Amino acid sequence: MTGAAHQTNETNDQGQEKHVTGATIWLTGLPSAGKTTIAHELAGRLCDEGHRVEVLDGDEIREFLSAGLGFSREDRHTNVQRIGFVAELLASNGVKALVPVIAPYADSRDAVRKRHETEGTPYVEVHVATPVEVCSVRDVKGLYAKQAAGELSGLTGVDDPYEEPETPDLRIESHTQTVQDSAAALYALLTERGLA
């Protein structure tokens, strides 16, 4: 496997230029922080501009690629490494891999970044820094309610650790701006780095 994330341009059937510079954009943050919503908003914009894009949803990965893994530190690490491997593979083949996955441990995220650096594949770490108080109100999947009712344990950021990135490439305060503004901030960073 090579990290051939070179800038090349192709044209599609309509003669429009397609962008085929790959990159992994990893959105980390607490459950219900807004990671997946921002990823899909950005994916739509990138697709409209001719980029090849895949959103690697954490729930889908757990169902299809990491079935059988639990939520111990070791299993979470294994899950993140599997996702990182797939993301790098896609990115090295010209795809923008958007990864809205919690990845609660700094060493797991660092290992993914190092894999990309070794392969020469662009990698962007985004911290969707929504406070737990806001996430628990949003509670998109009902996880915080289940934890509060004693039906669930090991909830990241509540009774299981979440190690915030110290130096992410971008920090998004999604609770203070719209989804569109959050995606625009990330798009601006990608543009600045020649990835959009």
Each residue's pLDDT tens digit, 90-133: 999 999 999 999 999 999 999 999 999 999 999 999 999 999 99
Measured CA distances, 112 to 87, 107, 108, 128 (Å):
9, 9, 7, 18
**Res. 19 pLDDT band, cuts 50 70 90:** low
Burial class, 108, CB count within 10 angstroms (exposed 0-12 / middle 13-18 / buried 19+) = buried
pLDDT at 3 over 80: no
Residues shown for the chain: 196
- Neighbour tally for 81: CB within 10 Å: 16
